[in-house]
Structure 1
Amino acid sequence: MTRRLNLPDSASVARPGEGGKLFAPSAERNAGPICDLVERYGPPRGRALELASGTGQHAVALARRMPELDWQPSEIDEGRRASIRAWGAEAGLPNLRAPLALDAARPGWAAAHGPADLILLVNLLHLITEAEARTIVAETGRALAPGGIFILYGPFMRAGELTSEGDARFHESLKTQDPEIGYKDDFDVIDWMMAAGLDLAHAIEMPANNLSLIARR
């Protein structure tokens, strides 16, 4: 799943920070809205698994906001896992675990990493292929506990359409680099959720023309 793309500043580009931490400006911008979203629609307590946690900025913000959730970040890239550990060491939060080395787009991971009361995925589906995206949704359905919640956040096509000039430019830049990636359609993703045994509970408009799809097993 790991790719090295020439992403614009609006994407989740990380730069080195102090003490081994990576810093992504987009993660800083959307941490507040994502925390608000999870606090409102996620479970108040239990085991939370974050897929593709990136730099660790979200993991720290979420674990701090919701101390009753046992927060488990994961990341395929070792450099980003090191950053998650650095952010976590600085924060010193008792409910934030060390990151797992997990490729969420590889079939079979649910058997080893469930059951979870909450699974969160932020800003990844547009950077991977449809087959990989479908695998993530299917494995999430298997990894969630009964009644567990899946929160999916990011940019999407809406009913097959790109709804802003910025989204159209970003989608085209991704397709130019790899024709198999790019924005996924919201209706398609909802269909994949249903096939995975998940019921869509909410579709929430988010800042910067992002969308959150919230489903329950």
Structure 2
Amino acid sequence: MTAAAPAHDPALLTPAGERNLPHILGFLAPHLPAKGRLLEIATGTGGHGLALARTHPGLTVRPTDFNEDAIKALEAWRRTHGPDNFLPPLRLDAADPSTWPDGTFDVALCINMIHISPWSATVGLMKLAGERLPRPGGLLALYGPYTEADVETAPSNLAFHESLRARDPAWGLRALEDVVSEARLNGLRLTHRAALPANNLGLLFRSV
């Protein structure tokens, strides 16, 4: 990318998101199709989806979020700055199929949602991916913190888990085994696990 056309707008990322973005993009890049439709669930401020739209011009990126204010802010920014393949954002509640967009997608991407939402959102995410990704080979990509059996959880992640539970008892780090099991129920198989900064995992699932 040139200086006039950066891969992302730092204003759309938190400091942690800014630090972790290169690692997330590097993790995803070898597995993304050259062309296709990408649905991002829980887009938030939009920094990740925008970077993918700019670095992968063959993809159309559809951002979504649960929060109406986030949708309005992102659409206002997109109208002024966004590339053509960064589509208008939609409100999506993963737990509510009536809010899911129509059609199929080659890739579903969800970054940092599973631990800051009730478990019903993860159940819905897996159903959405299972229904809207092509079979076989559709890609669901996740990024965030998890607990794992036989793997020591970082103290910072334990503290983060407790802080999330204090904010909302329905939130908190999920056991990777539970997430994989829910994916399997919807015809999705874990094909790749990568440790990424900071104490997060990148996970790839493929439809079968």
**TM-score higher than 0.5 here?**
yes
Partner of 2:55: 65
Distance 1:49 1:114 in 2: 11
Distance 1:89 1:30 in 2: 26
The Cα shift of 1:114 comes to: 3.1
Is 1:212 the counterpart of 2:202? The answer is yes
The Cα shift of 1:78 comes to: 2.1
Output the amino acid matched with 2:108. I
Q: CA RMSD in A?
A: 2.1
Q: Deviations along 1:163-211, whole A, 9 cap, x unmatched?
A: 1110010101111222222000111111111111011110111110100
Is 1:116 the counterpart of 2:128? The answer is no
Contact map agreement 1:57 1:84 (CA 8 A) in 2: no
Q: Deviations along 1:3-40, whole A, 9 cap, x unmatched?
A: xxxxxxxxxxxxxx99xx65422222222122222211
Q: Deviations along 1:107-160, whole A, 9 cap, x unmatched?
A: 3555x4331000000001001122221121122111112221000110001127
Output the amino acid matched with 2:178. D
Relative distance call for 1:86 and 1:57 in structure 2 (3 A) is: farther
The count of residues paired between Structure 1 and Structure 2 equals 198
Is 1:179 the counterpart of 2:169? The answer is yes
Partner of 2:6: none
Partner of 1:153: 143
Contact map agreement 1:56 1:88 (CA 8 A) in 2: no
Relative distance call for 1:173 and 1:84 in structure 2 (3 A) is: same
Q: Structure 2: where are the runs of 5+ without partners? A: 1-8
Distance 1:101 1:142 in 2: 18
Q: Percent identity?
A: 36
Partner of 1:125: 114
Relative distance call for 1:61 and 1:174 in structure 2 (3 A) is: same
Distance 1:162 1:137 in 2: 26
TM-score by length of 1: 0.83
Output the amino acid matched with 2:119. E
Relative distance call for 1:103 and 1:201 in structure 2 (3 A) is: same
TM-score by length of 2: 0.87
Distance 2:150 2:129 in 1: 24
Distance 1:194 1:128 in 2: 20
Distance 2:150 2:40 in 1: 28
